[in-house]
């Protein structure tokens, strides 16, 4: 707060006697302080700008509470998704290389599966332009995750819940899809887009990448961790969407009954 008694010019309060910076006495009508050299007008202008900036950047307690409340509303879908993902992850080895159950999931969401595959394949040559075999090989996985992550960021900025949940589901699907490919790195029994296994074709992204990183023997364990994260996203998104629909329905019902 700026003290009017420290203003440099005269006014209803008469002569001003204190420098707003150092408190030294000052004569009426003086432009600067003889003790510290501050120019009164500039000092007050800067003080006013700082006060205005503080008001603009001060956290809104109401907004913070609302954000906390919105996040808290997702705790049950998040917990349910974690439990479901844990159950599936315990049986991860039984899903390898790919079971009919996962094949059915891909058929049910085939538009998303094909789009994800196209993005994955586009990532190889696009990042290959930057040079380096490792980056080109990793490009498919990086693009497969970066694209839905960009979609999530877009909807987060717009505050659109449905779009955010779609993006979370897409990221979850991409992670689950990657997990099978990752876990197959050592055995290379998964049939790839070429129509042959990685062992037969000599082409397997994760065999090359984990081999370079010295993690080939940990392929299944790493795949299991990625699978858990992916399944969590795929379960969380529909549960959270169902919660949102339920909440909207009963909110509207209560409004109509008033």
Average pLDDT rounded to a whole number, residues 161-181: 95
pLDDT at 12 exceeding the cut of 50: no
Q: Which residue has the higher pLDDT, 90 or 16?
A: 90
- Calculate mean pLDDT across residues 146-168: 95
Handedness of CA 248, 253, 254, 258 (dihedral sign): positive
pLDDT digits (tens, 9 = 90+) for 211-243: 999 999 999 999 999 999 999 999 999 999 999
- The pLDDT mean for the chain works out to 84
Q: Specify the 3-state DSSP secondary structure of 197.
A: strand
Q: How many helices (H) and strands (E) does the chain have?
A: 10, 0
Q: Residue 168, class by beta-carbon neighbours within 10 Å (0-12 exposed, 13-18 middle, 19+ buried)?
A: buried
State the Cα–Cα distance between residues 63 and 45, nearest whole angstrom.
30
Least confident window among 54-58, 166-170, 234-238: 54-58
Residue 111 Cα distances to 105, 114, 116, 117, 170, angstroms: 11, 5, 9, 10, 11
Among candidate residues 132, 134, 174, 133, the one with its CA nearest the CA of residue 150: 174
Q: Which two tokens stand for residue 172?
A: 């979850």
Highest-pLDDT range among 88-97, 143-152, 241-250: 143-152
- Mean pLDDT throughout 123-152? 93
pLDDT score of 14: 41
Q: What percent of the chain has pLDDT over 70?
A: 84
Round to whole Å and give the CA distance between 210 and 96. 18
């Amino acid at each position: 707060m700026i003290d009017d008694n420290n203003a440099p010019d005269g006014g209803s309060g008469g002569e001003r006697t204190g420098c707003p910076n150092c408190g030294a006495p000052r004569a009426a009508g003086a432009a600067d302080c003889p003790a510290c050299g501050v120019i009164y007008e500039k000092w007050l202008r800067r003080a006013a700008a700082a006060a205005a900036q503080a008001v603009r950047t001060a956290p809104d307690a109401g907004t913070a509470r609302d954000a906390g409340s919105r996040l808290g509303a997702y705790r049950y879908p998040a917990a349910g998704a974690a439990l479901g993902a844990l159950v599936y992850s315990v049986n991860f080895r039984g899903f390898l290389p790919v079971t009919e159950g996962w094949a059915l999931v891909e058929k049910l969401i085939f538009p998303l599966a094909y789009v994800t595959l196209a993005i994955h394949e586009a990532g190889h040559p696009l990042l290959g332009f930057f040079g380096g075999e490792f980056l080109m090989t990793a490009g498919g996985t990086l693009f497969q995750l970066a694209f839905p992550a960009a979609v999530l960021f877009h909807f987060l900025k717009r505050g659109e819940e449905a779009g955010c949940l779609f993006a979370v589901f897409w990221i979850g699907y991409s992670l689950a899809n990657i997990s099978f490919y990752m876990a197959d790195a050592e055995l290379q029994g998964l049939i790839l887009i070429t129509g042959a296994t990685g062992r037969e074709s000599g082409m397997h992204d994760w065999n090359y990448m984990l081999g370079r990183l010295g993690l080939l023997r940990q392929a299944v364990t790493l795949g299991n961790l990625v699978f858990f994260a992916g399944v969590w996203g795929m379960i969380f998104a529909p549960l959270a969407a169902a919660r949102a629909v339920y909440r909207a329905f009963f909110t509207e019902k209560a409004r109509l009954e008033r």
